[in-house]
Amino acid sequence: MPPLIEVTHPKGIYLPEADLWLDPHFGVKRAFVSHAHSDHVARHDLTFCSEITHQLMVARKTAKKSGTVVSPELREVFEWEGWELRLLPAGHIIGSAMLHLTRKTDGATLLYTGDYKLRQGLSAERCGLMQADTLIMETTFGLPKYRFPPLREVRAAMHEFVEQTLVAGAVPVLLGYSLGKAQELLRALHGLGVPVMVHPSIAQMTEVVLPHLGELPEWRLFDAARAQGHALIFPPNAARSPELRRLGRCRFAMASGWALDPSAKFRYGVDEVFPLSDHADHPELLETVQIVQPRRIYLVHGSTREFAAELRSLGHDARALGAVDQLELLF
């Protein structure tokens, strides 16, 4: 049995044998970037990421102009300095990827999930796991109370909210961050027969990934003068914008995994919340461990200590890794 690949946490997740950082918040020599959300992207000399993530980084101007980007095809082996790298679909947002590493000298393996979910969403490729000796996994929703309902139920509730709001003569506004959740909301509204308007930041991200999305409803850029009769999709930070205030009566709904918390409506100041998340819930986290069958587990983000204790009670070598906390993006 080969020794485990060393994992350290000086100020982020670092693999010293490979001289490789995993989703660092700051610029480094060599890094793997799992997806294009702002809390996972920085300007590095060498970046490993998926091609879609690279395109999104360029669109967001978060890629280092003088840096090198390597984007292996998903699931294909990429040999690099004594290592075999595989990027696996993470299911988090479009373009998101996990990193699977194999040390060629002895076959030791490591899987870094980044942000992920096992459930099949509407806009991202379904997650694909591989067995590994070491597992580094996120635990944003690592408490047993976080169990998301089926997507079809959430989608039906969203459709009902939109239809009832329009019947009442108001404008339905669905809130989700510009990359990932907004495209999921667009896909969720397909088939409802209601035209959609989106915030400019959402339009920009959607245009980048449009070739990779499935069927969408009729959608266009937000125009306050023509917004009546449309469903709107806006990022949360634009929910109180002057443009929306001029529309008159609006009803707001937040799409977030935190909708399962009883205080979610009050916390976000909205009329409705929908538990639509880009992250794995508690049952999926347990399922991940069963599939990967790791010898050691490192946990990052969210309820790391609680989930580590639960895994240890089940016989696993599990530990919280540092105090990594990603920005809350209304997951």
| Number of C-beta neighbours around residue 193 at 10 A | 10
Domain that holds residue 184: 151-274
One domain, residues 282 and 141: yes
Pick the more confident residue, 110 or 325. Answer: 110
Note whether residue 325 is domain-resident: no
Q: Is residue 283 part of a domain?
A: yes
Query: In whole angstroms, what is the distance from residue 21 CA to residue 322 CA?
Result: 14
Give the residue among 182, 330, 210 at the shortest CA–CA distance from 261.
330
pLDDT (tens digit per residue) in 154-192: 999 999 999 999 999 999 999 999 999 999 999 999 999
Least confident residue range of 67-81, 87-101, 139-153, 169-183: 67-81
314, with CB counted inside 10 A (0-12, 13-18, 19+), is: exposed
The pLDDT assigned to 58 comes to: 85
What is the strand order of the sheet 196-198 is part of?
219-221, 196-198, 231-234, 171-175, 250-255, 272-274
DSSP assignment of 6-23, as one string? P-B-SSSEEETTTTEEES
Q: Which of 253, 274, 295 finishes a domain?
A: 274
> Does residue 179 share a domain with residue 110?
no
Q: For residue 303, how far is the Cα from the chain centroid?
A: 17
Q: Is the pLDDT of residue 203 over 90?
A: yes
Mean per-residue pLDDT over the chain, rounded: 93
Q: How confident is the model at residue 327 (pLDDT cuts 50, 70, 90)?
A: very low
**225 pLDDT more than 60:** yes
177 and 256 share one domain: yes
Opening angle at CA 84, ends 2 and 61, nearest 5:
130
pLDDT tens profile 20-66: 999 998 888 999 999 887 666 677 789 899 999 989 988 876 666 76
- What 3-state DSSP class applies to 83? strand
140 in the same domain as 156: no
Is residue 329 included in any domain, yes or no? no
| 123 has a pLDDT exceeding 70 | yes
Please give the pLDDT value at position 66.
Answer: 65
Are 184 and 81 in the same domain?
Answer: no
Closest CA relative to residue 72, chosen from 80, 64, 60:
80
- Please report, for the domain that includes residue 226, its CATH number: 3.40.50.10890
Q: Give the burial class of 261: count Cβ atoms within 10 A of its Cβ; 0-12 exposed, 13-18 middle, 19 or more buried.
A: middle
Confidence of residue 10 (pLDDT cuts 50, 70, 90): confident
Mean pLDDT, rounded, for 62-73: 79
Cα–Cα dist 250/171, whole Å: 5
Q: Has residue 59 been placed in a domain?
A: yes
- Could you read off the pLDDT of 241-295 as tens digits, one per residue? 888 888 989 999 999 999 999 999 999 999 999 999 999 999 999 999 999 999 9
Span 65-80, average pLDDT: 89
Whether residue 95 lies inside any domain: the answer is yes
Does 19 share its domain with 64?
yes
Residues 76 and 96 in one domain: yes
Domain count for the chain: 2
Question: Considering the domain boundaries, does residue 5 fall inside one?
Answer: no
Q: Is residue 135 in a domain?
A: yes
Above 60 in pLDDT, residue 325?
Answer: no
Q: Are residues 223 and 304 in the same domain?
A: no
Residues 130, 203 within the same domain: no
pLDDT at 323 over 70: no
Residues 214-223 have pLDDT tens digits of: 899 999 999 9
pLDDT of the residue at 328:
41
Considering the domain boundaries, does residue 1 fall inside one?
A: no
Mean pLDDT of 85-94: 97
CA–CA distance, 173 with 241 (Å, rounded to integer): 12
CATH number of the domain residue 84 falls in: 3.60.15.10
Helices (H), the chain: 51-60, 151-167, 181-189, 200-209, 242-245, 264-268, 282-292, 304-313
**Are residues 17 and 99 both part of a single domain?**
yes
Q: Are residues 219 and 308 in the same domain?
A: no
**Cα-based distances in Å from 220 to 195, 295, 312:** 8, 50, 50
